[in-house]
Amino acid sequence: MNIILLDSNNTLADGFYGLTPRQQTHISNVIKAKQGDILRVGILNGKMGEGVYEPPSEDQAGYIHSLSLSMLPPEPLPMVLVMALPRPNMLKRTLQNITAMGVKHLYLIHSAKVEKSYWQSPVLATESIQQCLLEGLEQAKDTVMPNWSLIPRFRPFVEDQLPDLLRDKVGLLAHPYLAKSCPVDIQEPCVLALGPEGGWNEFEVSKWLEAGMESVHLGERILKVETVVPVLLSRLYPA
Amino acid sequence: MNIILLDSNNTLADGFYGLTPRQQTHISNVIKAKQGDILRVGILNGKMGEGVYEPPSEDQAGYIHSLSLSMLPPEPLPMVLVMALPRPNMLKRTLQNITAMGVKHLYLIHSAKVEKSYWQSPVLATESIQQCLLEGLEQAKDTVMPNWSLIPRFRPFVEDQLPDLLRDKVGLLAHPYLAKSCPVDIQEPCVLALGPEGGWNEFEVSKWLEAGMESVHLGERILKVETVVPVLLSRLYPA
């Protein structure tokens, strides 16, 4: 947690913000802050800066006051990520990491090679996903919560929603066995579609290509999802 | 395991290779290969290609024969990675992932902010490290085993070994709070020094800079080690 993110849930009174149990634990046990210490804080979807810490007492929980917020959050990545739903034990880390890297628009989509059982995972509950995204923001020092949607049915998305997304963006289909090498530093917005571990099936590839996506690969080496995502994002937008 | 890697330990007779228990388990349970199936194989530190599978029988363990090896392993990254020793539960995955990406020269070095206890971890035993590196090769479809050294003392390395490494390579110190943005697509060999989670301390930074390393950063976002490494490597060598 590299920044304390505050929102309306934290507000005690004008200029005074209470702390969630997670935040209090981090401040007490990791930062080990004392009364009057300056902490790095941010307002969710707002600016970042500093605030003054008041530790818990017998009568009162800990809180932050005297905020000074002058920094804008870091630039987002100008892209939409459409990602086949990862396995549940990868999903949390994946959501945190893509958020930390600056993805603001995310669709988690079904694919033939995604086990149907993954869609039943409790990690997919709204509060659970929001928590993962929040942790990504806290890691990276960002405030802007990504938008996200669950897309349990592949075909309607690719036929009905994707054309609108592609109107003003280049479409890139990460697929190891076709076409050209993934471009470096594209300097324009994109829709990036990332398949499951087994890859998109033939039907899915044909639907993506039909909609106007270009197939790109990352070379001969087969990388795990946890490595592929940072490699792809940093290759497309290194700056 | 995307390739079955064979070495002298596997050799039964000329052209016949036995399988380790791990390999046999993968072939039986994941690939579900049958007699006569063609499997992707490679010779450790040698070429890659295919071989014919013979399943286990009552009398005999499973083996591979009739190898056809015509492919060279993928290009390595032209770099030396000097990395502060990660925490034990990160070390295995880190070794696998950097190997999968093509790092062939690795030093695991001490830093003031590395807990001394990390150096006692059983993950650091030679066979354990070799196993992690092997798994990285099997993931990526590569055969060339990286060279690696443990450097429990920071100062003698930076003073005595580093100058030789820098003779024909640019030196880059990944350090968030100084100097210039990490260059993209450097097209030359480098020594990359990656600090612990808390960063290098002032003394260590001064020693790196004194030896001729340049400090580079990755921008405002603070990323976890598991994300920083793929981002850095793919930024320096995107091709």
A156-202 pLDDT per residue, tens: 999 999 999 999 999 999 987 666 889 999 999 999 999 998 889 99
Q: Tell me the per-residue pLDDT of A146-155, one tens digit each, with 9 for 90 and over.
A: 999 999 999 9
Domain shared by A105 and A124, yes or no? yes
Domains: count for chain A: 2
Using a CB-CB distance cutoff of 8 angstroms, which residues of chain B are in contact with residue A227? 97, 100-101, 230
Nearest Cβ partner of A222 from B140, B224, B230?
A: B140
pLDDT in tens, B98-140: 999 999 999 999 999 999 999 999 999 999 999 999 999 999 9
Whether residue B139 sits in one domain with residue B109:
yes
- Comparing alpha-carbon positions, the chain A residue that sits nearest to B221 is A140
Q: In chain B, which residues have their Cβ closer than 8 Å to the Cβ of A222? A: 2, 100, 139-141
End-to-end CA distance of chain B: 24
> Taking the mean position of all CA atoms in its chain, how far away is CA A102?
7
**Domain shared by A38 and A84, yes or no:** no
Nearest CA in chain A to B184: A238
- Domain end point (choices B50, B71, B92): B71
Statement to judge: residues A44 and A142 lie in one domain:
no
Give me the pLDDT at residue A132, please. Answer: 96
Interface mutation target, options A227, A229, A235, A237, chain B, most CBs of B under 10 Å: A227
Residues B57, B162: one domain? no
By C-alpha distance, which of B217, B213, B206, B211 is closest to B181? Answer: B217
pLDDT above 90 (res B49): yes
Q: CA A159 → CA A41, A169, A207, A212, B135, distances in Å?
A: 42, 16, 8, 11, 40
pLDDT of residue A226: 86
pLDDT above 90: residue A49? yes
In this complex, which of A101, A223, A239 lies closest to B223 when CB atoms are compared?
A: A101
Rounded to 10 deg, the angle between the B88-101 and B225-236 helix axes is 20
Report the CATH number at residue A136: 3.40.1280.10
Our CA-based measurement puts residue B7 at a distance from the nearest CA of chain A, in whole angstroms, of: 21
Domain closes at, from B23, B39, B71: B71
CB contact under 8 A, B222 and A139: yes
Taking Cα atoms as reference points, which of B140, B6, B142 lies closest to residue B66? B6
pLDDT category at B10 given cuts 50, 70, 90 is: confident
Domain span at residue B230?
Answer: 79-236
Q: For strand B63-71 and strand B16-18, is the pairing parallel, antiparallel, or unpaired?
A: antiparallel
Question: H helices within A56-112, ranges in order?
Answer: 88-101
pTM for this one? 0.90
* Rounded percentage of chain A residues whose pLDDT exceeds 90: 85
**Token representation of residue A113:** 């090679």
Nearest CA in chain A to B185: A184
Under the banding of pLDDT at 50, 70 and 90, the label for residue B178 is low
Q: What value of ipTM does the predicted structure carry?
A: 0.90
Q: Which of A74, A184, A221 has the CB atom closest to B101's CB atom?
A: A221
CATH value at residue A41: 2.40.240.20
Predicted confidence (pLDDT) at residue A101 exceeds the cutoff of 70: yes
Tell me how close the Cα of A36 comes to any Cα of chain B, in angstroms: 24
| pLDDT score of B79 more than 80 | yes
Could you tell me the pLDDT band of residue A5, with boundaries at 50, 70 and 90?
very high
Q: Do B74 and A219 touch (CB under 8 A)?
A: yes
Please determine, for residue B198, whether its predicted confidence score (pLDDT) is greater than 90: no
Q: Which three-class secondary structure string do you get for chain A?
A: CCCEEECCCCEEECCEEECCHHHHHHHHHHHCCCCCCEEEEEECCCCEEEEEEECCCCCCCCEEEEEEEEECCCCCCCEEEEEECCCHHHHHHHHHHHHHHCCCEEEEECCCCCCHHHHHCHHHCHHHHHHHHHHHHHHHCCCCCCEEEEECCHHHHHHHHHHHHHCCCEEEEECCCCCEECCCCCCCCEEEEECCCCCCCHHHHHHHHHCCCEEEECCCCCCCHHHHHHHHHHHHCCC
Stated length of chain A = 239
Alpha-carbon span A101 to B141, nearest angstrom: 27
In 3D, which of A230, A142, A140 has the Cα closest to residue A194? A230
CB contact under 8 A, B221 and A185: no
Give residue B89's Cα distance to chain centre. 16
Cross-chain residue pair B227–A100, CB shorter than 8 Å: yes
- Whether residue A153 sits in one domain with residue A66: no
Q: Which residue is closest to A238 within chain B, CA to CA?
A: B235
At A123, is the pLDDT very low, low, confident or very high (cuts 50, 70, 90)? very high
CB B106 within 8 A of CB B148: yes
Q: Give the residue numbers in A contacting B (CB under 8 Å), as ranges.
A: 2, 74, 93, 97, 100-102, 139-142, 181, 184-185, 219-224, 226-227, 230-231, 233-235, 238-239
A83 shares a domain with A146:
yes
Interface test with A, best of B96, B221, B232 (most A CBs within 10 A): B221
* Whether residue A100 sits in one domain with residue A38: no
Interface test with A, best of B71, B96, B222 (most A CBs within 10 A): B222
- Nearest alpha-carbon partner for B119 in B108, B128, B130: B108
Domain boundary among B19, B37, B71: B71
Residues A23, A118 share a domain: no
Contact between B223 and A140 using a beta-carbon 8 Å cutoff: yes
What residues pair up with B173 in beta bridges, in sequence order?
Answer: B193, B215
Nearest-CA distance from A110 to chain B in Å? 23
Do B57 and B90 fall within a single domain? no
Same domain, A47 and A165: no
Q: A231–B226: do the CB atoms touch at under 8 Å?
A: no
* A140: nearest CB among B141, B221, B233: B221
Which residues on A lie below 8 Å from B235 (Cβ)?
Answer: 234-235, 238
* Domain match, B112 and B35 both: no
Closest-CA distance, B159 to chain A, in angstroms, reads 33
